Amino acid sequence: MDSSAPESGTVNEAVNTVPPCPSPFPSTVRNIGVFCPAGAPPPEKLAKGCRKLRQWGFHVCLAVPDSAPDRYLAASDEERVQAFHQLLEDESVDAIMAARGGYGCARLLDRIDWQLWETSPKPVIGYSDLTALHLGALRHGITTGICGPMVASEMARGLDEPATAAFTTAVHWFARAWGAGECSTEGALASATVLQPGAASGFIVPATLAVLVSLLGTTHMPDLEGAILVLEDINEAAYRVDRYLTQLRQTGVLQHLSGLVLGAFGGCDYPEWLPQTFEEFAGHVPGPVISGLPFGHRFPSLSFPVGRTGFLEAGDEIRFSWL
């Protein structure tokens, strides 16, 4: 994954306008915490995303460092992890959303109070670099994460046509990740391709490929035996995607999966080489493998729960569901 970290800033007040679609959050969520575990969000985008949350009637609790960004990070590691701990400790906060990704979540893993997170397992929502936090949480048995939209990116999208339809789709897909959900060939899986047929069940692990591979060999990497691994990435050349998948093969990860799902790999140099690469590595997975899922650094994107039980069927029809 190759992305930049823009400047940080403050958040403006909400604007009283009608939200573009119903709230994707369950009725149990009233207060949403927003933090910056990686890069610094552009102030105007953070403000816009927070306004959308307020339009749905949520109180937004911002845990954003006041200090200037530290290089490509929103703030120092200590400040960023303190902000996260603050939201975990705040009993009024029902869910926690990342402002944006970038880079920096892996730097926090050695500093996180895992006992605090285990006793306050609030949903932590985000994707991209948030893969590091989701995998670290999974390693500690925390399965409340959602690989989904972020405040200063997806939530800050404009709503001019046809963006309104895309935003509504993204919100609908995000809503399904909170409870039992399903994809079918009539909907999100219409463009998916079966690389290896079969049926499998296992815990779902959605991840950005480069971030997942960076945790191999660390104490924060969960055991993926029996998992349905859902991978995506952006701005990675075809040979680098090959390199990451080779590492997953050589460490035995692919051989112990229940199934593999490949999402979007946008911004790739020589994208015409990816299908052959995916077909080659599909042969190392003992279960079903599909590609072409609308998931990742694209809009709209599917959202997935982290660690919940899923079911994948790949044959004449493709079905992907979770409990």
The dihedral sign for the CA sequence 149, 210, 102, 82? positive
- Whether residues 106 and 121 fall in one domain: yes
Q: Tell me, what's the pLDDT at 322?
A: 96
Whether 131 and 224 share a structural domain = no
Q: Residue 8 falls within a domain, yes or no?
A: no
Residue 9: inside a domain, yes or no?
Answer: no
For residue 128, indicate whether it is catalytic.
Answer: yes
User: Is 284 marked active-site?
Assistant: no
Please indicate, yes or no, if residue 2 is contained in any of the structural domains: no
Task: Supply the CATH number for residue 99's domain.
Answer: 3.40.50.10740
Query: Which residue in 297, 301, 303, 313 is the catalytic one?
Result: 297
d(CA 54, CA 136): 30
In a shared domain, residues 121 and 241:
no
Q: What is the pLDDT of residue 137?
A: 98
Q: Which residues pair with 156 in a beta bridge?
A: none
**Same-domain check for residues 54 and 153:** yes
The domain boundary residue, chosen from 157, 174, 191: 174
In this predicted structure, what is the pLDDT of residue 185?
54
For residues 56 and 120, membership in a common domain is answered with yes
Q: How many domains does the chain have?
A: 2
Last residue of a domain, one of 155, 174, 193: 174
Domain harbouring 197, CATH code = 3.50.30.60
Q: 225 and 194, same structural domain?
A: yes
User: Is the domain of 127 the same as that of 69?
Assistant: yes
Assess if residue 150 is contained within a domain.
yes
Shared-domain flag, residues 263 and 225: yes
Tell me if residue 232 is catalytic.
Answer: yes
Distance CA 137, CA 107 (A): 14
Residue 6 lies in a domain: no
Active-site hit among 8, 120, 128, 301 = 128
Neighbours of 223 (CB within 10 A): 10
Write out the chain's pLDDT in tens, 323 residues: 543 333 333 343 444 566 668 999 999 999 999 999 999 999 999 999 999 999 999 999 999 888 899 999 999 999 999 999 999 999 999 999 999 999 999 999 999 999 999 999 999 999 999 999 999 999 999 999 999 999 999 999 876 656 788 999 999 999 999 998 887 655 788 889 999 999 999 999 999 999 999 999 999 999 999 999 999 999 999 999 999 999 999 999 999 999 999 999 999 999 999 999 999 999 999 999 999 999 999 999 999 999 999 999 999 999 999 99
Cα–Cα distance for residue pair 43/66, rounded to 1 Å: 12
Sheet strand arrangement including 31-35: 59-63, 31-35, 95-98, 124-126, 146-147, 304-305
| Domain match, 120 and 248 both | no
User: Would you call 38 helix, strand, or coil by DSSP?
Assistant: coil
Domain membership flag for residue 266 = yes
Q: Which of 135, 158, 174 is the last residue of a domain?
A: 174
Assess whether 35 and 170 both reside in one domain: yes
Is there a single domain that holds both residue 184 and residue 137?
no
pLDDT of residue 9: 37
* pLDDT value, residue 59: 98
E-assigned strands of 120-258?
Answer: 124-126, 146-147, 181-184, 193-196, 198-208, 228-234
Inside any domain, residue 268: yes
- Let me know whether 63 and 137 are in one domain: yes
CB atoms within 10 A of CB 119: 10
Which one of 232, 284, 301, 313 is the catalytic residue?
A: 232
Range of the domain at 160: 31-174
48 part of a folded domain:
yes
The pLDDT score that the predictor gives to residue 16 is 52
